Structure 1
């Protein structure tokens, strides 16, 4: 049986739930981690939506809190339909199985193309936008060979290495992660490539709203998607301050394999990859290096178990909401325990002596009011003064 051949048994969102999920993730100050905590605490996105204004007020928000409207969510669904795209939730069958394992995975992805590409084990390939001819050739070789071995090739649709990897895997399946909305691909010269991807065996994905023009700060989120979808990421030519190194860092944080292609120390495009090798990345001089590294992670039995670990679509609340019992004194204890330095939430719970549900509630209030920063790995800090 080919690697990752088994299909998952996902739980489908109802249309009403899908609207509520989109409204919640599009509301002010609600990111993936906040979305998860809100749904866990209140039991559903609909219940969380009703609580948002009061939560943000208690967290110290000054102005009116914007909750995304039903009409706005319906307009985005209509835009997706016209574009030939769908929204897939984290508990559903076509959600990429490796991505759902990361901390703060997007609750909803806009997807267009061959949805089955998302269910296959994936190799990420990224690198320099101003790639050398030999670098682009090597990236294409890895993409072509890994695609033939059953892997979907994931990249960021950028110029250079990304483009070479996508083109070489058009026939076997490639996933393009976008920094903007699905209808706003970047760079413009790759619009034709994106159309080839979605018309064939490939797939385009984005967590951003339709119509969203990508900004500089959106590209690291795109890189995070590439790393999260993939079992391993191959870096081919990356300068010392390259965005590809951000992808490598995310991959390492997620427990993914990092492959790096060595290059001349005289070529600035190779300084970043050579540094990755010094830090322990897997030396990659052939496709065999990549396939041998990925093989233990992509065995059919192991990948099928990964597929089977479905999060609940609407998880039941762990207990009654703590809103009625938490006083200002308890809220002050949580705020006092926070500072500019990231701290583990479990340490806040131990330090304050409050129930976990009460601490999480205060953190939600602060988050929605723009007073909290989340750093991943269960770390939080106070946001710097505006």
Structure 2
């Protein structure tokens, strides 16, 4: 993560500050990064949150995670073997650290050395066909034999088959809820078996029950940890296609397994092939496609120069001008600065005010829009 506080090891105090910030209202991964870059540290950002939200027009005072709440979460995680790690620390998947909405802190447990190895994600239909399950098992086993860790979402169907076939060599479950809220519940035993040579990750706190909106958010982590994503079976408008779309946005290789035009479970994968996904009929198709990527050095962004806190607050005219330039259509930060005719620090401050008031959304590629 590109923050001025990025290190290869956080102190205990920094970890608590980071956790407090990411667990506070209206602070997601992109907002977290903007705040820390803007104010120089998570602690400095925490001190400014109430004032920023008020000036952004928040209808009520925002909830800020307390130090006691942060310590309680760390203790609850530790009780079930979960560690919170930051980008660059041991156990944080190196490729995940490169996406622009990487979790500032990731809950990891199990054989975390598996998280540092190259991964291939395999996803697909929960209501999988027998042929799809059989192919998934063979593909997962062959990729594991070739040295890859298999990542998936612990769901029924294709996910489960991919995990089971790679149990001995290492497989990673990406969870939508807290580590103690496994979904579906009947896969708790599978997860426990995975933790012997593989691992589980989640950005959610212990006790968090996964909701429908948590699964698309989780999908960006499935693709984010991996060199490439293989979709085995997927109907139209399925979660697996969301994962494939996010994978393409993240610059990951997207693979699809062809299927019968008469099987609804193959409609999504066949469409992916039409859109340019790499066709897969055996593990060698994946291995050859990712070989050039594997040869390139992987560099996690290092420390950025510290940003001094802004030397003045935006005046009423600047704030009104910037807000007037915003709308429901995303606009780039550089364009916003140019059109506003003011300093980058002033524009960033106004955006943070709006965001913490729950009125702004950040998109990939540095784009922002009003909610």
TM-score range, shorter chain: over 0.9
User: For residues 326-351 of structure 1, what are the alpha-carbon distances to aligned partners after superposition, in whole Å with 9 as ceiling and x for unaligned?
Assistant: 21111111101101111111110110
Alpha carbons 2:151, 2:174 under 8 Å: kept: yes
2:300 to 279, 286, 309: 309
In 2: Cα distance, 1:160 partner to 1:174 partner: 16
Q: Residue in 1 aligned with 2:4?
A: none
Q: Residue in 1 aligned with 2:50?
A: 53
Structure 1 residue 311, shift from structure 2 partner: 3.1
Once the two structures are overlaid, the 10-residue window that deviates more, 371-380 or 235-244, is 371-380
Which TM-score applies when normalising by structure 2?
A: 0.96
1:365 is paired with a residue whose SS is helix
Structure 1 residue 324, shift from structure 2 partner: 2.1
Alpha carbons 2:98, 2:301 under 8 Å: kept: no
User: For residues 135-156 of structure 1, what are the alpha-carbon distances to aligned partners after superposition, in whole Å with 9 as ceiling and x for unaligned?
Assistant: 0111111111111111111100
User: For residues 273-318 of structure 1, what are the alpha-carbon distances to aligned partners after superposition, in whole Å with 9 as ceiling and x for unaligned?
Assistant: 000000000011111111111111113xx2xx31x43433xx5532
Structure 1 residue 171, shift from structure 2 partner: 1.0
Alpha carbons 2:150, 2:171 under 8 Å: kept: yes
Structure 1 residue 261, shift from structure 2 partner: 0.2
Q: Residue in 2 aligned with 1:21?
A: 18
Which TM-score applies when normalising by structure 1?
A: 0.93
2:327 to 331, 334, 339: 339
Q: Residue in 2 aligned with 1:127?
A: 124
Q: Residue in 2 aligned with 1:287?
A: 283
Residue pairs, 1:93-104, within 5 angstroms:
93-104=90-101
In 2: Cα distance, 1:341 partner to 1:286 partner: 42
Alpha carbons 2:125, 2:232 under 8 Å: kept: yes
Alpha carbons 2:175, 2:218 under 8 Å: kept: yes
Q: Residue in 2 aligned with 1:118?
A: 115
Q: Residue in 1 aligned with 2:79?
A: 82
In 2: Cα distance, 1:110 partner to 1:178 partner: 10
In 1: Cα distance, 2:159 partner to 2:369 partner: 35
User: For residues 95-120 of structure 1, what are the alpha-carbon distances to aligned partners after superposition, in whole Å with 9 as ceiling and x for unaligned?
Assistant: 11111111111111000101111111
User: For residues 16-47 of structure 1, what are the alpha-carbon distances to aligned partners after superposition, in whole Å with 9 as ceiling and x for unaligned?
Assistant: 00011000000000000000010111111111
Q: Residue in 2 aligned with 1:6?
A: none
Structure 1 residue 361, shift from structure 2 partner: 1.2
Q: Residue in 2 aligned with 1:256?
A: 252
Alpha carbons 1:373, 1:380 under 8 Å: kept: yes
In 2: Cα distance, 1:269 partner to 1:140 partner: 17
Count residues in correspondence. 366
Alpha carbons 2:88, 2:94 under 8 Å: kept: no
Structure 1 residue 91, shift from structure 2 partner: 3.1
In 2: Cα distance, 1:146 partner to 1:311 partner: 31
Residue pairs, 1:209-358, within 5 angstroms:
209-299=205-295, 302=296, 305-306=297-298, 308-312=299-303, 315-318=304-307, 320-322=308-310, 324-358=312-346
Query: Which structure 1 residue ranges, 5 or more long, are not aligned?
Result: 1-9
Q: Residue in 2 aligned with 1:5?
A: none
Q: Residue in 2 aligned with 1:151?
A: 148
Structure 1 residue 50, shift from structure 2 partner: 0.6
Alpha carbons 1:90, 1:311 under 8 Å: kept: no
After the TM superposition, list the runs of 4 or more consecutive aligned residues in structure 1 that deviate by more than 4 angstroms. Answer: none
1:371 to 356, 359, 369: 359
Alpha carbons 1:181, 1:206 under 8 Å: kept: yes
In 1: Cα distance, 2:178 partner to 2:222 partner: 16
1:42 to 29, 36, 39: 39
In 2: Cα distance, 1:311 partner to 1:31 partner: 21
In 2: Cα distance, 1:296 partner to 1:316 partner: 32
In 2: Cα distance, 1:93 partner to 1:333 partner: 45
Structure 1 residue 325, shift from structure 2 partner: 4.1
